[in-house]
Structure 1
């Protein structure tokens, strides 16, 4: 099933380019809200698309002719909550994070739906066969209020780290399928303030006066695999040595005291998404100032680029030609929750480094 979602290339939109911040280049304009982009070593582009009041979330591949096709196939993107025959174990129910891992697979985090068994899972797609060949169901490790959201990997590629917006980290052994949930209710994993959006507090789902607070969400791993970085959505970036995190898989004592090994690194803003480059610099989208921050391995935080078009930039990507890819999802708070309005832009911005060797295929 192929759908034309592409609205224009930069060549067609040249008159508008001059309005953007210096260095910010518009490369795609899409009809559907695009939360994230992942680009394989061979140049294949995959988009996670969500934040619609009428359409289900979906994964698509952006083809060379600027059309998209459901990925890995239509069946995986066919979940229908009103159809009792729709199988949540073999379909995407609620797409959250998506990433190409060090093993070359395209990994999709399905946050699932409360009460729907088998819907919360980590799905690995083989880019050679274009078929799902790895599946990890997370019902046994998540909590009733969990929001499993994003994934990164150890240097060995044998361990996955998944963020849980309820305020926790899930550590998954990809060989044995054993998983533990750690940092539960740690101060470093909890939101200490509501999120900010374009100058205001983000409204919540609890009524007219409610606000949105989101726990541990963004995670990155340093290029040498030594540190795991993490933060709640409202900001406050921490790091912890992966050796301690990995030990929590088999050492219950370490799992219980893991937060004691967490170090604050930088005071970061309300954030839509992050990525890391090969020099260990972390890029953080600012949902309040509509900007991208750069945080060095030493914790120095500065604004890299700022533009009103960078509306809720989410899952970013770094390519070998030293470009930072920025999907500006156009997500905004409203009565229907965090929904996006089109057109939805993907920009690039030049940086000084290529991708992390353990973050991309």
Structure 2
């Protein structure tokens, strides 16, 4: 058997021959560290600035959410930025509605990806908000028009290349449960955005996908309704260390895909032609929520089926970076300048929508980190 599943790899005995390669989790960098816990709403995203500031977000999925983005200081989360963090339904374009992802870009600026969606409803005020961390002030708000943020759109995660165009570009996944999935490309200078790989098979959930988490099949299970297979499309996203490829994966799939960024950025390239450039990197044997990359050209993937984080090496092999029973649904990751990989674990599969109306989550939720031998991808174009 040429390739063992990650869950089997973890069963290798500590008494293995000395000349047998060690797993990443057997190395010092595999030690899991608890950074912070959360007793309020469940967090999804995390990002770390170049100077070590940690930010998280809480989407409005049903939990009471006082503020949708926060900075974590000394283990405590406080509203950030405070001036726009109080949701005002009469001004959805001017206040934060429901932030799904927070990401620090290569220039050390914080971006907030606001779905504009309450409990996965139609978006109202979907936008991308840039915050200057030198002043903690909003410097840019990019609203998404209705032909980009469709009535079914759910803006999920984002990555940046600041070398493209006048001010850089952003790539965003649309993980809509119903309606077309795809990648949204944003010009950070003009604020113009457009959909790419719209409804392409690589961005869609696998048919009848059935993940196994904590030994049990996960389906959408609501009282009085027949169970439904998970249908979330393009979710995790990461950009290669050289900016040449964008990696992405549907949440309801075990396949990893990548596409040349030039195919997404080409103004004259039809979407069908861009789709022909997509590569299927194969069935990984596990399903992922978040993706991340490092400056050594490796791709990190959460493994929500096995409470783990794995890493795809430059030659296509997978190795375990962290594995722990406390890692219940590892969600979003961030490679930080301090040489750690940060990630949230939020028990997403224990929500009532998957448990016949019963909320089985047990607080607190967690933010972990693990030491790695690499740094973040910084596509700034700076010499």
**TM-score, length-normalised on structure 1?**
0.84
Distance 1:331 1:116, change over 3 A: closer
Partner of 1:97: 101
User: How far apart, in 1, do the equivalents of 2:199 and 2:109 lie?
Assistant: 31
Match of 1:150 among 133, 157, 160: 157
SS class of match (1:314): strand
Distance 1:218 1:282, change over 3 A: same
User: How far apart, in 1, do the equivalents of 2:186 and 2:32 lie?
Assistant: 37
User: How far apart, in 2, do the equivalents of 1:37 and 1:232 lie?
Assistant: 19
Partner of 1:289: 306
Match of 1:264 among 266, 276, 280: 280
Do the aligned partners of 2:46 and 2:101 also contact (CA within 8 Å) in 1?
no
User: How far apart, in 2, do the equivalents of 1:211 and 1:278 lie?
Assistant: 36
Match of 2:84 among 65, 76, 80: 76
Do the aligned partners of 1:205 and 1:211 also contact (CA within 8 Å) in 2?
no
Please report how far the alpha carbon of residue 195 of structure 1 lies from its aligned counterpart in structure 2 after TM superposition: 5.3
* Consecutive aligned runs of 4 or more in structure 1 exceeding 3 Å deviation: 50-54, 114-117, 336-341
Partner of 2:262: 243
Partner of 1:172: 186
Do the aligned partners of 1:88 and 1:116 also contact (CA within 8 Å) in 2?
no
CA displacement, residues 32-56 of structure 1 (integer Å, 9 cap, x when unaligned): 3232221111111111134763412
Say whether 1:27 aligns with 2:28: no
User: How far apart, in 1, do the equivalents of 2:115 and 2:221 lie?
Assistant: 18
Please report how far the alpha carbon of residue 205 of structure 1 lies from its aligned counterpart in structure 2 after TM superposition: 6.5
Say whether 1:60 aligns with 2:60: no
Partner of 1:232: 250
Do the aligned partners of 2:294 and 2:377 also contact (CA within 8 Å) in 1?
yes
Do the aligned partners of 1:59 and 1:70 also contact (CA within 8 Å) in 2?
yes
Q: How many residues align?
A: 330
Please report how far the alpha carbon of residue 162 of structure 1 lies from its aligned counterpart in structure 2 after TM superposition: 0.6
User: How far apart, in 1, do the equivalents of 2:58 and 2:122 lie?
Assistant: 23
User: How far apart, in 2, do the equivalents of 1:22 and 1:351 lie?
Assistant: 8
Please report how far the alpha carbon of residue 352 of structure 1 lies from its aligned counterpart in structure 2 after TM superposition: 1.9
Partner of 1:358: 379
User: How far apart, in 1, do the equivalents of 2:292 and 2:104 lie?
Assistant: 12
Distance 1:98 1:212, change over 3 A: same
Please report how far the alpha carbon of residue 161 of structure 1 lies from its aligned counterpart in structure 2 after TM superposition: 0.4
Which of the two has greater strand per residue?
1
Partner of 2:231: 213
User: How far apart, in 1, do the equivalents of 2:297 and 2:30 lie?
Assistant: 24
User: RMSD of aligned C-alpha atoms?
Assistant: 2.4
User: How far apart, in 1, do the equivalents of 2:135 and 2:36 lie?
Assistant: 27
Structure 2: runs of 5 or more not aligned: 1-28
SS class of match (2:84): helix
Partner of 1:10: none
CA displacement, residues 271-316 of structure 1 (integer Å, 9 cap, x when unaligned): 2212111112111111111111111233222333221111111121
Partner of 2:135: 129
Do the aligned partners of 1:155 and 1:224 also contact (CA within 8 Å) in 2?
no
Match of 1:109 among 110, 113, 132: 113
Please report how far the alpha carbon of residue 30 of structure 1 lies from its aligned counterpart in structure 2 after TM superposition: 2.5
Do the aligned partners of 2:106 and 2:378 also contact (CA within 8 Å) in 1?
yes
Do the aligned partners of 1:155 and 1:225 also contact (CA within 8 Å) in 2?
no
Please report how far the alpha carbon of residue 159 of structure 1 lies from its aligned counterpart in structure 2 after TM superposition: 0.8
Distance 1:271 1:105, change over 3 A: same
CA displacement, residues 329-350 of structure 1 (integer Å, 9 cap, x when unaligned): 2323343469753111222212
Structure 1: runs of 5 or more not aligned: 1-20
User: How far apart, in 1, do the equivalents of 2:75 and 2:35 lie?
Assistant: 11
Do the aligned partners of 1:195 and 1:202 also contact (CA within 8 Å) in 2?
yes
User: How far apart, in 1, do the equivalents of 2:48 and 2:351 lie?
Assistant: 31
**TM-score, length-normalised on structure 2?**
0.79
Do the aligned partners of 1:76 and 1:91 also contact (CA within 8 Å) in 2?
yes
Distance 1:228 1:205, change over 3 A: same
